[in-house]
């Protein structure tokens, strides 16, 4: 069976933003997606707190890891309320 334990990848968000904000137009686009980024951040925190991988969440939801990846990617996908409820149930 696959190892479904959560193993976080280090990421310095403040450093990323400082670098990205130097690019023309980034700050405006980032600000326009604030709600989506907040939701994605909460989803990632909930999954981390549950100690689950995307694979484990996908199994519980009856979907694929790539679908979970798209769901957690801010600004790329507008999930339905039903999908968000399934995700929340999957991560507890």
Domain parsing of the chain, residue ranges: 25-91
Specify the pTM.
0.69
Q: What is the pLDDT of residues 63-81, one digit of tens each?
A: 999 999 999 987 667 889 9
Domain 25-91 sits in CATH at 1.10.260.40
Dihedral sign computed on CA atoms, order 46, 62, 8, 79: negative
pLDDT tens-digit map of 30-48: 888 888 888 999 999 999 9
Joined together, the tokens standing for residue 65 give 């890891």
pLDDT of residue 1: 60
Identify whether the C-beta of residue 53 lies closer than 8 Å to the C-beta of residue 5. Answer: yes
Q: List C-alpha distances in Å: 7 to 29, 44, 50.
A: 30, 13, 12
Query: Using CA atoms, how far apart are residues 48 and 6, in angstroms rounded to an integer?
Result: 7
């Amino acid at each position: 069976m696959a190892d479904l334990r959560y193993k976080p990848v280090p990421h310095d968000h403040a450093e990323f933003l400082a670098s990205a904000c130097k690019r023309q137009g980034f700050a405006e686009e980032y600000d326009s997606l604030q709600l989506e980024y907040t939701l994605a951040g909460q989803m990632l925190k909930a999954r981390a707190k549950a100690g689950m991988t995307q694979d484990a969440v996908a199994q519980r939801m009856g979907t694929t890891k790539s679908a979970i990846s798209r769901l957690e990617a801010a600004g790329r996908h507008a999930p339905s309320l039903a999908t968000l409820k399934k995700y929340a149930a999957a991560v507890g």
